[in-house]
Structure formats: structure tokens, C-alpha cells
Amino acid sequence: MGERRMTLTDSSIANTQKINPQRYDAQSLAAAIEQRFASAVSPSANEESRFDRTLIVTQPEALPSLAQFLFWDAGCSFGGLIVEEREEWILRYVFRIPGDGWIHFILRLPLATRTVPSISAQIHAADWYEREAEDLFGLEFEEHPRLGDFILHDQVWQEGLAPMRKAFDAGQTHLKKRPKEDWHPVLVVQDPGAFAMPVGPVYEGGIGESVHFLLETVGEDVIRAVPRLFYNYRAVEKIAEGKSVLDALLLAERFSAKSAFAHSLAYCQAVEKIFEQQVPLRARSLRVALAELERLRHHAGAIAAICQSTALTVSEAHAAIVEEQLLRASCAFAGHRYLFGLNTPGGLRRDFDAQNCRNLLGTVDTTSRQLHRLEERLRYSSSFLDRLEDVGIISQESARDLDLVGPLGRASGLAHDLRRACPYGGYERYRFEVPCEKEGDGFARLRVLFSEAQQSAKLIHQAVESLEPGEICAPVTQPSAGAASGWVEAPIGAAMHWIRLDREQKVERYRILSPSFRNWLGLHVAVEDFAFQDFPIILATFGLSASECDR
């Protein structure tokens, strides 16, 4: 089993053994970088470091070893890659220091540059970010083994389109397409009798989101699983450019509806930093309540999907009823079933009266009790557990290697939660636990979902009970230009929105680092070496969103 799993993870297992238990905070990390990379990294003194800790990488060739040090020796998490085209290329590598916030590394290159050092060999989680930058900006990453045919599918688009370049006009609706006529998927498994089973992009009667899977097999076990995503790519980051802050907000909350509130919150937090708005206390508490309401609803839906995948229909029905009750409660409480149109830079667009809040708490209590009862019953349903236990395992090493986020990472022993690690928007005021499991199998993921749902219900209670009368939205007093990031722990995991506003407060560059984008990369680890009939179950326990990944 070990040899089959390709070379990707081999080097990392060697790497994990070197994990240095030494914990850095921001200061000691800066000192360590100063000591090791004195000639390659310099502090940033300009406006780039106004909101985020920023260091400049002055020698591009030092980037891989810097990445190796940060991720494996210093134990940082990789946040993502943000590419910007201004007077020069600005590549922004975002890292999170365990327990001490974010740090950005900026690499500046002349616009004529076409090749950039790759860090995918050091940080496997960076793989897709580099492939994305290659497809959308035309940047070549040196020695990256697999570039091209990622977001722009080769059977639809020609190579070298680079739609995120500033010169590319997003409005051209009759763009000439020159697809590769003879495109076919790359098959790797060469055993006698090997074949590839294609699934999607229209499958499950279309109720599944548009994703394509290529499952290579010799019969029973899936040997290689390649998800092919971006069927839902709507170029959200491109069409946001040039829009006003409030118009781009519509895109921020609507590219992925299942976590609309979380993403609009991250967006608003970034804008609030640039505009120096202080969000009133009442709006903060309500934002926490609404974000947790969304998490509770999302997890109920994810639990229903897992029950459905194992064909235990009564439990599916019970979880689905809970989800619909929460959708109705969201609509009765806030006017929209998916909580659209509530967040706005500075706070919330509307206030809620006490009776409305009491009704919400009533529904939250009922539904969390129902979920608890459902969990108790599922724990004693042996046929159900047989489908989940020891299925789709992601070891802690693999999870760390791919830097998985959210409930998926927490089920494999990575106790990262931005609400705890980098508190935002008032979470530091509330008491809650971050459920964490070690097994990394389907059942562990289900248990994490159930426990998080209970924690969310508690948080909603605390947030609503701590409500104080007051303003709901801070006005914009000094609209200004600049770049800042906002982050949230979305239902699927850590999400960051990074935005640069120009002098007229129009969006110059908007970047969404979404948790699904990160976690889809881990699917192959869980699916490979398990049987075909486990595939839908593993997929359900992952609970990922294609639209959140594709943007």
C-alpha cells in the first residue's frame, strides 16, 4: 500500500520525522529567519506592512529553503499564494505562525519574468496554488511536475490565455477558444486489466456539484483518484476588479452559498481594516451568532449527506429535517435562508429585536437536541459504523503534509481553528471547545461534525445572551486605499480574503483563499487503496464544496 501512494508523500514522511518541536512566536521566528536567511530576507518598511506582518524575499532562489524552514522546522501553516500584477510581479506567500498570527513573505520580480522558483516540493499544499497561478497569470514554476490543464480545462481553452493579467478584458463574451482536440486524461496505472472509471461532472442525478473524478483501478480497489475541478469557475476574482466595495461584497457572499456569511464576514473584516472602521460590540456579537448558525446548519447538512451516502434513510431524513428547520429559522430571523445581504463593512445591515432572538434560540435548542439524539442512535448502529470506521483514513502525517484545514484536519489530529488560533470579530470573548479526533477515518470526521454543531449551539447562546443595546453599523469615516486581509474559520475550514483597494476605493485585486481549495487536494489520500463502494462515503465525509473551491 505504501509504495503505491506515489512519490508525493514519501519525502514528506522523512520530513515529518524532522519536525522540530520548538515553537516560535512572531518575534523569535523573525530572529531565526534573520539568523539563517540574513542575505535573502529583509524587513518591509513601506505600506505593505501596515496591516500584516510582512517580510521581503530579496533572493528568489532562497525561497524553497525558506519555505522548507517555515513549514517543517518552524511548524507554520501555509495560508496560500497571492499573485498580483502591478508595476512588477508581487508574489505574496502567506504563512500562519502557530498561535501567533499571520506572516506574509513578498517576492518581487520584474514583469518580464516568466519563471518563478517552485515551493511545491517543500510544501505539498502549495501545489495547487502554483498550478492556479500558472493557468491564470502565465507564470511558470520551475521544476513543477504538473502545470497546465487546471482551472482552464484543455478540452475547452488554449494554453497561455492568462485571464488574470490586467491586460485581459473579462467582458469579452465571444473569446475565440482553441481547445486541444485530442485531449485525454493522463492515466498512470499500467497493470494488466487496469482501467479508469470516470465519474461526473454530471452525476448523482446532478444533485452533486459539478466535479469530475477519474478513478483508476484494476477491479475492486481504487488505486489512483484524481479530482478534476473548476467546472464552476466563474472568475469571481477577475470580475471583482474595478467594482466598488459594496458591489464586490455581493460576489464575496455569493461565490459559495453554503458558507456565504463566513465569506462575507472575512471580506468585510478586510475592508474594515483598510477603512479603519471599529465594528460596534452589538454587531460583533450578532456576527458570531449568525456565523455559528451557518456552521450549525452546514454541519447538519453534511451529516445528512453522510447518512445518505450509507443509505441509512431514516437518519438522513432526521438530519435533513434539522437542516431545513435551521434554514427556515435563518429566514425567519434574518430574512434570507442562506443569510445573504446581512454583512456590510462596519457591521450588519439590520438589527434584530429580542423576540426574534428568543425564537432563534428556541430553534437552536430543539435542533441541537435532535442532533444529539441522532448521534446517540448512530453510535449504536453497527451497519452504519461498518461503512465509516477505518474507511478513508488520513493519517496525521498526511494531514500535516497537505496542511488540511477545518473539520477534516481536526479529525486527523490537527487542532487548528482560526477562532482560537487568530481570534477575530469577538470570538475571544466566548468559551468554546475545538473538538479534535485522532483516527482520521470517516467516523472521526462525523464525530467532529456532531461535536462542532453542539459547540456552535453553545456559542449562539453566549453571543445572543451577551447582546448589549447599541449601534449595529459603524459609518465609513475615512475611505482610504491599501491592502488588507480578513480571515474566518468557515464551516469547511480556514478562509482568508485579501483585498487591495485603489485611490477611488475600487477593487484592484481580490483574492479568496478558500478551505475547499486546500482540502480537495487531500481527497486522493483518503480514496486510494479503498474499495469503489467506499468512494461516495469518503466523498460525503469530506463534505467539500466545489463552488467554494472553484470560485
Partner 1 sequence: MSSWFWHGVRRGIQTTRYPGAPETAAGVSPGRPLPTTFASPEQAFQAASNCPVGAISASKNIASVDLRTCVWCQRCHFGSSNLLNWDEGYEWAQTPATKKDYSALHSAFGQSLHVMVVDAGDCGACLHEVKQLNNPLYNMHRLGIFLTATPRTADVLLVVGPVSENMRGPLLKTYEAMPDPKRVLAVGTCAITGGVFGKSFMSAGGVGMVLPVDVEVLGDPPPPLAILHGLLVVAGRKKPTTAPTQSREEA
Q: Which stretch binds partner 1 (CB under 8 A): 39-47, 60-68, 165-173, 394-402?
A: 165-173
289 touches 364 (CB < 8 A): no
Q: Which stretch binds partner 1 (CB under 8 A): 11-19, 39-47, 341-349, 492-500?
A: 341-349
Out of 155, 158, 278, 533, name the contact with partner 1 by CB under 8 A: 155
Out of 189, 196, 250, 467, name the contact with partner 1 by CB under 8 A: 250
Out of 350, 358, 369, 503, name the contact with partner 1 by CB under 8 A: 350
How many residues sit in the footprint of partner 1 (CB under 8 A)?
A: 75
201 versus 479: smaller Cβ distance to partner 1: 201
Report if residue 233 touches partner 1, rule: CB under 8 A: yes
**Cell 446548519 belongs to which residue?**
297
Out of 33, 251, 270, 296, name the contact with partner 1 by CB under 8 A: 251
22 versus 313: smaller Cβ distance to partner 1: 313
Sign of CA dihedral 208, 210, 213, 219: positive
Q: Tell me 532's DSSP state.
A: G
Alpha-carbon span 404 to 394, nearest angstrom: 10
Out of 92, 131, 144, 258, name the contact with partner 1 by CB under 8 A: 258
Report if residue 149 touches partner 1, rule: CB under 8 A: no
Out of 312, 402, 488, 527, name the contact with partner 1 by CB under 8 A: 312
Q: At its nearest, how many Å lie between partner 1 and the CB of residue 370?
A: 10
Tell me, what amino acid is at 398? S
Alpha-carbon span 297 to 303, nearest angstrom: 10
CB atoms within 10 A of CB 496: 25
Report if residue 355 touches partner 1, rule: CB under 8 A: no
Report if residue 434 touches partner 1, rule: CB under 8 A: no
540 touches 309 (CB < 8 A): yes
Report if residue 514 touches partner 1, rule: CB under 8 A: no
Q: Which parts of 516-545 interact with partner 1 (CB under 8 A)?
A: 545
Closest CA to 246 of 350, 346, 338: 346
Out of 5, 108, 180, 337, name the contact with partner 1 by CB under 8 A: 337
Q: At its nearest, how many Å lie between partner 1 and the CB of residue 360?
A: 11
Q: Tell me 483's DSSP state.
A: E
Q: Which parts of 52-91 interact with partner 1 (CB under 8 A)?
A: none
Out of 238, 416, 447, 524, name the contact with partner 1 by CB under 8 A: 238
39 versus 172: smaller Cβ distance to partner 1: 172
Q: Which parts of 176-195 interact with partner 1 (CB under 8 A)?
A: 177
189 versus 472: smaller Cβ distance to partner 1: 472
185 versus 423: smaller Cβ distance to partner 1: 185
Q: At its nearest, how many Å lie between partner 1 and the CB of residue 522?
A: 20
Helix axes 281-309, 260-275, angle to 10 degrees: 150
Q: At its nearest, how many Å lie between partner 1 and the CB of residue 376?
A: 11
- Length of the chain in residues, anyone? 551
Q: At its nearest, how many Å lie between partner 1 and the CB of residue 67?
A: 31
Q: Which parts of 385-414 interact with partner 1 (CB under 8 A)?
A: none
CB atoms within 10 A of CB 232: 18
Report if residue 255 touches partner 1, rule: CB under 8 A: yes
Out of 19, 26, 109, 170, name the contact with partner 1 by CB under 8 A: 170
DSSP for 362-398 reads HHHHHHHHHHHHHHHHHHT-HHHHHHHTTSS---HHH
Within 8 A by CB and 6+ apart from 27, the residues are: none
Report if residue 254 touches partner 1, rule: CB under 8 A: yes
Q: Which stretch binds partner 1 (CB under 8 A): 125-133, 317-325, 417-425, 436-444?
A: 317-325
The radius of gyration of the chain's CA atoms, rounded to the nearest angstrom, is 23
Backbone angles phi, psi at 451, to 5 degrees: -65, -40
26 sits in which H/E element: helix 26-36
DSSP for 203-271 reads -GGGTS-S-EEEEEESSSBEEEEEEE--TT---HHHHTTT-BHHHHHHHHHHSSGGGHHHHHHHHHHHH
Give the 3-state secondary structure of residue 343.
Answer: strand
Backbone angles phi, psi at 116, to 5 degrees: -130, 145
Alpha-carbon span 303 to 300, nearest angstrom: 5
Q: Tell me 551's DSSP state.
A: -
Report if residue 439 touches partner 1, rule: CB under 8 A: no
**Cell 461535536 belongs to which residue?**
451
Q: Which parts of 199-228 interact with partner 1 (CB under 8 A)?
A: 201-210
302 versus 496: smaller Cβ distance to partner 1: 302
Q: Which stretch binds partner 1 (CB under 8 A): 14-22, 148-156, 186-194, 532-540?
A: 148-156
Out of 60, 138, 185, 341, name the contact with partner 1 by CB under 8 A: 341
Out of 9, 120, 122, 232, name the contact with partner 1 by CB under 8 A: 232
Q: Tell me 416's DSSP state.
A: -
Alpha-carbon span 509 to 83, nearest angstrom: 9
Give the 3-state secondary structure of residue 324.
Answer: helix
Q: Which stretch binds partner 1 (CB under 8 A): 4-12, 92-100, 197-205, 534-542?
A: 197-205
Report if residue 338 touches partner 1, rule: CB under 8 A: yes
Out of 111, 197, 331, 415, name the contact with partner 1 by CB under 8 A: 331
126 versus 260: smaller Cβ distance to partner 1: 260
Report if residue 321 touches partner 1, rule: CB under 8 A: yes
Closest CA to 389 of 441, 446, 445, 449: 441
